[in-house]
Amino acid sequence: MALFSSSPELLVLSILVVVVLGGLYIIKCRSSSQNNPSSSVPRNWPVVGILPSLVLNLHRLRDYVLEISSTVHTLKVGIATIRIFITSHPENLQHIFTTNQANYPKGEEFAEIFDVARGTLFTVDGELFRRSRANHQGVLSNPLLVGLMIKSCRDKVEEDLLPLMAHLATTRAPVDMSDLMVRLVFDLNVMSVFGMDPARLSSQNHDRMPPPMGVANAMDTVMEVGFLRHIVPPSCWKAMRRLNIGQERRLSAAQAVLRNFAADMIAERRRIKKKGLLIQVGQEPVDVMSSYIDDPSYISNDDNLLQATLITYMIAGRDTVSTTLPWIFYNLSKHPHVVSAIRDELAPIVSRKAPSAAAAPTTTTMLLFEAEEVKPLVYLQAVLLETLRLYPPIPMVRKSVAAEDVMPTGDKVCAGDIVLVSLQSTGRMEAVWGPDSQEYRPERWLLKDGRLRHVPSHKFPAFVMGPRLCLGKDIAMALLKIIVASVVWNFDVDVLDGQVIRTKLSCLLQMKDGLKVMLNKRERSSM
């Protein structure tokens, strides 16, 4: 299936061919767009196939995929005939992820793309996947671990996030809300996986540069280079990996950072246990690592699988929350009536939990919302779901085809085809969500009697579906509610005008240049 030879000379020649044909393609597209502006069907060129089209649209690749998912189905990529089936149709999603899911594994190539997580739940298929999922489900359903995650979030918001935001509000300087949320969620993630607080978000960091985010940045690199590996011919990125050049060199360094971090955490835990520092029953940690560190099936082969498993928990644990939070605050800033509705829903909780504070308008004490208080809030839930509909953390999922099959839409796929499922496109389909499908409107999730509307996962696939349904969905939603409620009640968050909000070329729907905001602490008298 290779488009390029592995040798450096032919690799360079192939790149030159792409550049030349890409230039010709740009000229042709500019000419044809004047005659047919709506044309978005990519052309299959000799040798390089649709690669010039991808290069041309790299700066807007997600929008491009959304366009061709409704006009193009099976594509040839070069003489090697790599066939790509792009779909966002809900019935096809149900077929791929549920009805006939055994025919659509992630495949060996996916495992190679994310080799830092090889052998884990994220990359395996079949019986190994079923056993691994059952194991992970048991870990994440442990009430002690869930309690640790909720308590860590509650304490982190109270002790670090809200005080730090209050300080930043006094500076009257722009704040990168995206960076703030990434730091918060990174701390929470490491606390749940390893049982220690890396303090990358700390209220003690008021007057000095924040601590470096090497491990978090390494996780971002894995997802960014993983994205490039999806769209670059395998022989090309594998050649770059062997030569240790370009993005592959960057990825290699990031993987080393992650493995070393995991190895250090494992070694420290074993040192503590060896010295008998955890001697009393009930003092054993309840973090994720404690569930695997003594499991023989994970600690063989120099801890490679144990490290990969913990890295996978780190990456998966932060994706939904840290990627979604900036989009929530971005949309809330654009829709002040939604902010007012959230505060109206929180007001009865405030009156119940802090009558003395409500009676003293001069106090500056900030209010924190507990998980059990915000869990039943329907409108807040609708706000989160509406954000996830338009901005799913993982906007596209890749599958392979094991055997020839026919989709519910009548499209035929063959063994060896690549299937790209655009979850973002499904969440924006007019046929599913109505003529205002592109608009941010949380009210669409509410029934007339005030209850939450149920939408099946093949129409709302933000958490994927079927056997691959996100195991941390409920935990993620609980953390999001605590964070959003506490911030919205205590602060006005205003997005600075003039920003161009762009997304990274990544497997995650992250903001490329952050989200610059002004923070204003709400006075108690205005509450």
Q: Tens digits of per-residue pLDDT, 481-511?
A: 999 999 999 999 999 999 999 999 899 999 9
The Cβ of residue 87 has, within 10 Å, a number of other Cβ atoms equal to: 24
Owner of token pair 């000799």: 46
Over residues 464-471, the mean pLDDT reads: 94
pLDDT (tens digit per residue) in 362-392: 335 789 999 999 999 999 999 999 999 999 9
Provide the pLDDT confidence category of residue 300 given band limits of 50, 70 and 90: confident
Average pLDDT value for the chain: 84
State yes or no: pLDDT of 201 exceeds 70: yes
User: Terminus-to-terminus CA distance in the chain, angstroms?
Assistant: 62
Strands 418-422, 82-87: pairing kind: parallel
Q: Give every strand in the sheet of 491-495, ordered side by side.
A: 175-176, 516-521, 491-495
Angstrom distance (rounded) from CA 225 to CA 223: 6
The answer to whether the CB of 165 falls within 8 A of the CB of 487 is yes
pLDDT (tens digit per residue) in 56-96: 776 676 667 666 665 444 444 444 557 788 899 999 999 99
pTM: 0.87
The helix-helix angle for 246-274 and 234-243 (nearest 10°) equals 70
State yes or no: pLDDT of 352 exceeds 70: yes
Angstrom distance (rounded) from CA 417 to CA 80: 12
Tell me which amino acid residue 97 is.
Answer: F
State yes or no: pLDDT of 10 exceeds 90: no
Tell me which amino acid residue 478 is.
Answer: A
State yes or no: pLDDT of 5 exceeds 50: no
Report the pLDDT value the prediction gives residue 285, as an integer from 0 to 100.
77
Angstrom distance (rounded) from CA 375 to CA 481: 7
Provide the pLDDT confidence category of residue 299 given band limits of 50, 70 and 90: confident
pLDDT (tens digit per residue) in 321-344: 999 999 999 999 999 999 999 999
Domain with CATH 1.10.630.10 in the chain: 57-526
Angstrom distance (rounded) from CA 487 to CA 501: 22
- Lowest pLDDT segment from 192-196, 217-221, 357-361: 357-361
The domain covering 57-526 belongs, at the CATH homologous superfamily level, to Cytochrome P450 (1.10.630.10)
Provide the pLDDT confidence category of residue 55 given band limits of 50, 70 and 90: low
The Cβ of residue 353 has, within 10 Å, a number of other Cβ atoms equal to: 14
Beta bridge partners of 85: 74, 419
Provide the pLDDT confidence category of residue 2 given band limits of 50, 70 and 90: very low
State yes or no: pLDDT of 241 exceeds 70: yes
Angstrom distance (rounded) from CA 174 to CA 515: 10
Using DSSP, state whether 83 is helix, strand or coil: strand
Report the pLDDT value the prediction gives residue 375, as an integer from 0 to 100.
96
The answer to whether the CB of 151 falls within 8 A of the CB of 157 is no
The answer to whether the CB of 236 falls within 8 A of the CB of 4 is yes
Report the pLDDT value the prediction gives residue 51, as an integer from 0 to 100.
63
For the residues of 378-411, what is the DSSP string, one character each? HHHHHHHHHHHHHS-SS-EEEEE-SS-EE-TTS-
Angstrom distance (rounded) from CA 382 to CA 362: 33
Report the pLDDT value the prediction gives residue 291, as an integer from 0 to 100.
92
The answer to whether the CB of 97 falls within 8 A of the CB of 466 is yes
Report the pLDDT value the prediction gives residue 371, as an integer from 0 to 100.
95
Report the pLDDT value the prediction gives residue 102, as an integer from 0 to 100.
96
State yes or no: pLDDT of 280 exceeds 60: no
Over residues 442-457, the mean pLDDT reads: 96
The answer to whether the CB of 100 falls within 8 A of the CB of 402 is no
**Closest residue by Cα to residue 424 from 50, 61, 43, 59:** 61
